[in-house]
A and B are shown apart, each in its own frame.
Chain A
Amino acid sequence: MQSKGIYLPRGLLLPVAILLAWEVAAHAGRSGGVLIAPLEQIASTAFTLAAGGTMAVDVAATIARVMSGFVLGAVAGLLFGSVIGTSRAADWLASPTFNAVRQVPLTGWIPVAALLFGIGEGAKLSLIALAAFCPVALNTAEGLAGVSQSYRELGRSLNFSGVTSWWRILLPAATPQIFTGLKHGIAFAWIAAIAAELLLTSGPGLGSMIEGGTALFRLDIVMVGVCLIGAFGYAMAVAMERVEARFLRWRN
């Protein structure tokens, strides 16, 4: 590789090969009855969408949706998880129902949401909130319930009140796992948003964008949408890790 005068990391071999194959297939003709869009067309579509402002509208709509749904679901999950993670009675009372609800795949709730709330914003927000709620509640409860006995005893030996003990000992000790829940929560919220937009198409959003592209048999639009979904999903995950790193500095 170096003899050719270019340095090509091995990790780039596969993407380059895939893109080349894509380009060749695009120029060679038809596949599955649909014209594969050549890369240059995808790029120019991306540019057009970006320049025309529709891309920004779709991205902003999806992110706003995810954010509000996530905040709703995560706050509810934190509260619910705190209660069942702290009180044994609440755990016995509510955990079986929670665990039953958790078993239903996210996509299984989509028709329910559609019937109860229509295809508008309410259905989408409730799906996203539910997606964020489950992992956050689960990890918060497990994190709090799993705080080791020695930390609890420390609280007692320092004569902490119940509230102080919860705030100063239980919560910090459970924070790593709560963040695990929040990270899963944001990832699932993102998936739920795309799924909801895709299957309950109404208004702007990245899911609607790829759904619209499909309806027009515009593979270029679909590919731009898929790339944006991957990129912004990744960006959200990274942002959440940043927040976690700030909160958990004591974990070296």
Chain B
Amino acid sequence: MARALSIVGIGALLPVVGLSFWEIAARAQWTQSQILVPPSAVFATIVEFWQSGELLSDIVASTCRVLIGFLLGGSLGFVFGITAGLDRRVEAIFAPTFHVLRQIPVIAWLPLLVLLAGFGEGFKILTISIAAFFPIGLNTLDGVKNVSSKYIEVGRALCFSRRQIIARIIWPAALPAIMNGARLSLSRSWMLVVAAELVASTTGIGHRMDWGRQLFQIDVVFMGVLVTGCMGLLIDVAVRGLARRASRWTEQA
């Protein structure tokens, strides 16, 4: 316990020293830049935006977009991965196009999506759906296809029906890969919601940062950095927890 605490203490050393230095530098005006406000000002800004409720509504707006987009694009990617992974004909038809399209960074679609879908909510949801679609699609496809034929043969030897082989062998064997895909999808979604809100939005944490940038309020921008980082971490921890439960068997050794 004491050891764990001391490790945490060491880890906190760097940020504490860094932030203190930054605070002193900003207050003593070592830099000419008016932009580099001290950490205490960033903290005050966070408190202010929190108390006014604006921060919460930004977070809620962005999170809703991520969740809706992730559910739409993620489930589509999941369905694609499963069907193409199980059926060679489906794979032959869809996979080549899928592999070509996934080479294009989702962010490159932003202008096109703006042109085609306008600046509204649809554009953002569409962007996030595309971002969520590819990682989970790819990982599900690979996960299902790469299930060792040895295990499938066990199912055959035990006279499993095709359904039973899918449900009791392919599914559990592919689940870790699928969860990993979901994790990547969520983190891509989070990256793209910020991008989409930077480009075109009147709500959300990305919009808040863009607003701060245009008004040269770096404290607001740093608030955005902190919030997006925390949300990213939160999502990652949650999905990792789920993934670990789904694949306990891979860890014991």
Residues of A within 8 A of B (CB): 9-15, 18, 31-34, 89, 92-97, 100-101, 103-112, 114-116, 190-191, 194-195, 198-199, 206-207, 210-211, 213-214, 217, 219, 222-223, 225-226, 229-231, 233-234, 237
B232 touches A103 (CB 8 A): yes
- Proximity string of chain B (82-97) to chain A, C-beta cutoff 8 Å, 1 when within and 0 when not: 0000000100111111
Residues on the B chain within 8 Å of A96, using CB: 8, 11-12, 14-15
B109 beta carbon closer than 8 Å to chain A? yes
Q: In the complex the two chains form, what is the Cα distance from A207 to B212 in whole Å?
A: 23
Residues on the B chain within 8 Å of A106, using CB: 191
B212 touches A111 (CB 8 A): yes
A107 touches B194 (CB 8 A): yes
A14 touches B93 (CB 8 A): yes
Residues on the A chain within 8 Å of B111, using CB: 198, 210-211, 213-214, 222
Residues on the B chain within 8 Å of A32, using CB: 115-118
B195 beta carbon closer than 8 Å to chain A? yes
- Proximity string of chain B (6-29) to chain A, C-beta cutoff 8 Å, 1 when within and 0 when not: 011011111100100000000000
B192 touches A107 (CB 8 A): yes
B11 touches A95 (CB 8 A): yes
Q: In the complex the two chains form, what is the Cα distance from A112 to B216 in whole Å?
A: 10
The residue that B14 contacts in the complex, of A93, A190, A219, with Cβ under 8 A, is A93
CB of B98 to closest CB in A, whole Å: 9
Q: In the complex the two chains form, what is the Cα distance from A115 to B100 in whole Å?
A: 36
Nearest CB to that of B187 among chain A residues? Answer: A105
- The 4 A-B residue pairs with the shortest CB-CB distance, nearest first, are A96-B11, A11-B96, A230-B104, A105-B191
- Proximity string of chain B (194-210) to chain A, C-beta cutoff 8 Å, 1 when within and 0 when not: 11001100000010011
A34 touches B93 (CB 8 A): no
Q: In the complex the two chains form, what is the Cα distance from A28 to B109 in whole Å?
A: 23
Q: Knowing A92-B7, A110-B198, A111-B212, say if A234 contacts B103 (CB, 8 Å).
A: yes
B107 beta carbon closer than 8 Å to chain A? yes
A11 touches B11 (CB 8 A): no
Residues on the B chain within 8 Å of A223, using CB: 112
Count A-B contacts at CB 8 Å.
157
| Listed A/B pairs (25) with beta-carbon separation below 8 Å | A10-B92, A11-B92, A11-B96, A32-B115, A32-B117, A34-B115, A89-B10, A93-B11, A97-B14, A103-B236, A105-B190, A105-B194, A107-B192, A108-B191, A108-B224, A108-B228, A109-B225, A110-B198, A111-B213, A198-B108, A199-B195, A214-B114, A222-B112, A223-B112, A233-B105
Residues of B within 8 A of A (CB): 7-8, 10-15, 18, 35, 89, 92-97, 100-101, 103-105, 107-112, 114-118, 187, 190-192, 194-195, 198-199, 206, 209-210, 212-213, 216, 218, 221-222, 224-225, 228-230, 232-233, 236
A108 touches B225 (CB 8 A): yes
Sample of 12 more A-B contacts, CB < 8 Å, known A11-B97, A199-B198? A32-B118, A96-B8, A103-B230, A103-B236, A104-B229, A107-B206, A108-B194, A111-B224, A195-B195, A198-B108, A225-B108, A230-B103
Residues on the A chain within 8 Å of B18, using CB: 97
CB of A87 to closest CB in B, whole Å: 12
CB of A212 to closest CB in B, whole Å: 9
Q: Knowing A190-B105, A191-B107, A226-B112, say if A10 contacts B187 (CB, 8 Å).
A: no
- Name A's interface SS: helix
Q: In the complex the two chains form, what is the Cα distance from A18 to B97 in whole Å?
A: 10
A214 touches B115 (CB 8 A): yes
Residues on the B chain within 8 Å of A103, using CB: 229-230, 232-233, 236
Q: In the complex the two chains form, what is the Cα distance from A80 to B112 in whole Å?
A: 38
B105 touches A229 (CB 8 A): yes
Residues on the A chain within 8 Å of B206, using CB: 107-108
Residues on the B chain within 8 Å of A95, using CB: 11
B195 touches A93 (CB 8 A): no
Q: In the complex the two chains form, what is the Cα distance from A83 to B230 in whole Å?
A: 26
B15 touches A226 (CB 8 A): no
B93 touches A229 (CB 8 A): no
The residue that A112 contacts in the complex, of B13, B118, B195, B222, with Cβ under 8 A, is B222
